[in-house]
Structure 1
Amino acid sequence: MEKRPGPAPAPGEGCLVAAIRMPVRIVALVVVVPVRLVWDALVTGGRFLYEKALVPCGRAVGRLLHGLFVWPLVQLWRYVLAPVGRGLAFLVRVLLVVPAVWLYARVLAPVGRAAVAVLGWVGRALFVWPWVALWRRVLVPVGQGLGWLLRQLAAGVAAAGRGLGRLGRILLVVPAVWLYARVLAPAGRVAAVVLGWVGRALFVWPWVALYRYLLTPLGLAALALVRWILVLPALALWRWVLVPVGRALGVLLREIGTALGVAWRVAGYVSLAVGRFLGTLLRWTFVEPVRWVYRSVLTPVGHVVRDHLWRPAARVVRETLGAVRATVRQVRADVRRALFGPGSPPEPPVREVREPEDAQGRTLGSSTTALTKTAFIKD
């Protein structure tokens, strides 16, 4: 119940914040308290409905569905389908699997192995051995001769290529290299220098002068004009109008949020107090009278009914049943004696013993102690 310290005031808060805070909090409290009361009432009612109605109904429906669907299906599976399935599996195994395995192991596998061996020998005799003989006796010698001939031709072609390469180098490569190094390269350098000067004089220098003496002053003037016409007014509008308005809106929104939080907590305390008052009122108007009636009226009446009606009636019923049981035993003994003669041993009378008879304490005269038992044994 200790009061929590409020939030520290933010730097820059003044009379505007103080003037906004109290009305906003009052309005938020007036608006939020009924909403919080309705919310707490709905939450309490929903929790009570869930715990007292939906959960028992769900359990009852679950048990009903279990009794109507799950348990019959389990019993059907356990006592009908599973035994029938095991029987069918045993029949299939005995009638199909075992004969098929025996047929495969004893008949089909040996026949297959023999057929594979015969077909292997026939296939090798018809298709493999003739081609192997053709390869070894004909194709290999012919290939070796052709390879030697091709190697000789390749050696001759390589010698001719080397000779032609030397002749081409002397007649073409050496003059071309000398022409490039002594004539074309110096002429190209001179032409590049001349074309560079001509290109800069015709294309670069005019554009540089245009940019430096015309476009740059015009750009600076346009930039200054745009700055004075657009940038400075926009900056003044942002600094002197939008920023203060934004700060005021931020302060207003922050105070509204803080007021809503405070109002929600206060509404919680109010809702708690109202709930406790209603619980106390319900307790003193309904629960306590019902408890008093149960303790002061129903309990004594129940004790009187139990002691003066229920127990005597139960005793009478028990004695009546004992008498009927003894009569039935006697009649059964009489019937047995009438059917089998008097030689059959009569049944001993059965007497119900409800309480111990002649209960005595242990004394020196009784034979319940170790000393008296020892003396009795010696005597």
Structure 2
Amino acid sequence: MENRPTPQAPEGCLTIAIRVPVRIVVLVLVVPVRIVWDLLATGAKALRRVVLAPLWRALVVIPFGWLYACVLTPLGRATAWLGRVVGAGIGWLGRGVAWVAVTLVAAPAVWAHRTVLAPLGRGVARVARGTGLGLRWLLWAVFVWPPVTLWRWVLAPLLRYGLVVPGAWLYRYVLTPAGHAIALLVALARAGLAAVGRGFAALIVLLFVVPVVWAYRTLLTPLGRAVVVVLREIGDAIGHAWRVAGFVSRAVGRALERLARNLLGRPARWVYAVLLTPVGHWMREAVLRPAKRAALTAGRSAREALASARETVRTARRDAWRALVGGPPREPAEHRARTLGSTTTASGAVPAPEISLSKAEG
């Protein structure tokens, strides 16, 4: 079976008369509010995307990521390693202490208990058991038997025939009839008070409740229904106006977007594509790249000239030292290792000893 919609109650004249003016007034008031709300929401989203998100990443995410990766992680690993080392030391110490305790304390204590203390305790227990039996009989004969005999043969008969029997007779033949009479009087008084209370309640209902019920049914209920209808129509009008204002706000936003694109975006794109891009390409090809190549060439020539001058100074110093002393000069402690037949430095080559001309000729 198909689900049929539930029939709604017919609307009255008051509802129809209130709905149209209320919706017109609310629509006029809500449209500016909705437009301002949409503008604020759009500005807040742009602010969050352009300013707050990069600022949050630069001030919080990147520093804390670096702190976690470069400080906290090595510190945690060092702490874990230290904890493992300390735990291992504590474990070895605990096992040593346990061995000492078992060997030097527990084993002698167990031997003393089995050999000395247990037999001594059993003997002391037997002596105490015999002594306690005699003491119990003595205490019973001195402290228990006389009070029991006195209670059984003197105090119990005296209490029974002196207090219990007269008290039972007094309760049965005096107190019980008096209690019944008092209960009857209390029941009569309660019935009279209940009748007076019912009469007073009926008077209150007649004087106060009936007028209040009449006023509620005759005046307050229709007035409340009218107020509920007005409030419901106002709420429906606000919701409808909010939706209509949303459509209006979106239409205004699209119009402003198209206007901005036609007045600013397309001219700016045309200026960028027609003017700035060719000028930028010309600057890159005609100015920047030749300047870069010239700078690289000048730097390379300067480095080569500096290396040649350094090699010339080193050769002149070596020749001067050989001419004065006749032996190889003492170079600094750290030499650049050179391969045979070339001046290129090798990272793993062993420096070859230099031979003077005098030794070679001799």
**Normalization by structure 1: what TM-score?**
0.52
**Deviation of residue 289 (structure 1)?**
0.7
152, 159, 173: which one pairs with 1:190?
173
Aligned pair in 2 of structure 1 residues 204, 293: CA closer, same or farther (>3 Å)? same
**Per-residue CA distance 1:238-259 (angstroms, 9 max, x = gap):** 1122222222222222221221
**Deviation of residue 208 (structure 1)?**
4.7
**Deviation of residue 151 (structure 1)?**
3.6
232, 236, 257: which one pairs with 1:258?
236
Aligned pair in 2 of structure 1 residues 54, 178: CA closer, same or farther (>3 Å)? closer
- What SS is found at the alignment partner of 1:298? helix
Tell me the distance in 1 between the aligned counterparts of 2:290 and 2:184.
134
- What is the correspondence of 1:313-332 to structure 2 with a 5 Å cutoff? 313=290, 317=294
Tell me the distance in 2 between the aligned counterparts of 1:151 and 1:204.
62
**Per-residue CA distance 1:122-142 (angstroms, 9 max, x = gap):** xxxxxxxxxxxxxx9xxx99x
Q: Which amino acid aligns with 2:141?
A: A
Q: Which amino acid aligns with 1:259?
A: A
Which position in structure 2 is the counterpart of 1:291? 269
Which position in structure 2 is the counterpart of 1:39? 37
Q: Which amino acid aligns with 1:276?
A: R
Tell me the distance in 2 between the aligned counterparts of 1:161 and 1:323.
124
- What is the correspondence of 1:216-235 to structure 2 with a 5 Å cutoff? 218-235=196-213
Aligned pair in 2 of structure 1 residues 208, 322: CA closer, same or farther (>3 Å)? closer
Tell me the distance in 1 between the aligned counterparts of 2:59 and 2:135.
100
Tell me the distance in 2 between the aligned counterparts of 1:54 and 1:300.
36
Tell me the distance in 1 between the aligned counterparts of 2:193 and 2:157.
56
Tell me the distance in 2 between the aligned counterparts of 1:181 and 1:323.
133
Whether 1:49 and 2:47 are equivalent positions in the alignment is yes
Aligned pair in 2 of structure 1 residues 8, 263: CA closer, same or farther (>3 Å)? farther
Whether 1:245 and 2:243 are equivalent positions in the alignment is no
- What SS is found at the alignment partner of 1:11? coil
Gap runs ≥5 in structure 2:
75-119, 320-340, 344-362
- With 51-60 and 290-299 compared, the bigger mean Cα shift is at 51-60
Whether 1:162 and 2:145 are equivalent positions in the alignment is yes
**Normalization by structure 2: what TM-score?**
0.54
**Deviation of residue 160 (structure 1)?**
8.0
Tell me the distance in 1 between the aligned counterparts of 2:150 and 2:52.
108
Which position in structure 1 is the counterpart of 2:356? none
Tell me the distance in 1 between the aligned counterparts of 2:167 and 2:279.
137
Aligned pair in 2 of structure 1 residues 22, 170: CA closer, same or farther (>3 Å)? same
Aligned pair in 2 of structure 1 residues 17, 190: CA closer, same or farther (>3 Å)? same
Which position in structure 1 is the counterpart of 2:253? 275
Which position in structure 2 is the counterpart of 1:30? 28
Computing the radius of gyration from Cα coordinates, the structure with the larger value is 1
Aligned pair in 2 of structure 1 residues 54, 229: CA closer, same or farther (>3 Å)? same
9, 12, 26: which one pairs with 1:11?
9
Tell me the distance in 1 between the aligned counterparts of 2:35 and 2:199.
68
**Deviation of residue 219 (structure 1)?**
3.8
Which position in structure 2 is the counterpart of 1:367? none
Tell me the distance in 2 between the aligned counterparts of 1:321 and 1:252.
88
**Per-residue CA distance 1:103-126 (angstroms, 9 max, x = gap):** xxxxxxxxxxxxxxxxxxxxxxxx
Tell me the distance in 1 between the aligned counterparts of 2:55 and 2:165.
109
Which position in structure 1 is the counterpart of 2:93? none
**Deviation of residue 56 (structure 1)?**
4.6
Provide the aligned length of Structure 1 versus Structure 2: 269
Aligned pair in 2 of structure 1 residues 26, 51: CA closer, same or farther (>3 Å)? same
Aligned pair in 2 of structure 1 residues 148, 269: CA closer, same or farther (>3 Å)? closer
**Deviation of residue 237 (structure 1)?**
1.2
**Per-residue CA distance 1:44-73 (angstroms, 9 max, x = gap):** 22332333344455666679x96xxx99xx
Tell me the distance in 2 between the aligned counterparts of 1:156 and 1:320.
125
- Which protein, 1 or 2, shows the higher relative CO under an 8 Å CA cutoff with sep ≥ 6? 1
Q: Which amino acid aligns with 1:288?
A: R
Q: Work out the percentage of aligned pairs sharing the same amino acid.
A: 35
Tell me the distance in 1 between the aligned counterparts of 2:142 and 2:289.
140
Q: What's the Cα RMSD here?
A: 5.6
**Deviation of residue 215 (structure 1)?**
4.6
- With 12-21 and 34-43 compared, the bigger mean Cα shift is at 12-21
**Deviation of residue 234 (structure 1)?**
0.4
Which position in structure 2 is the counterpart of 1:20? 18
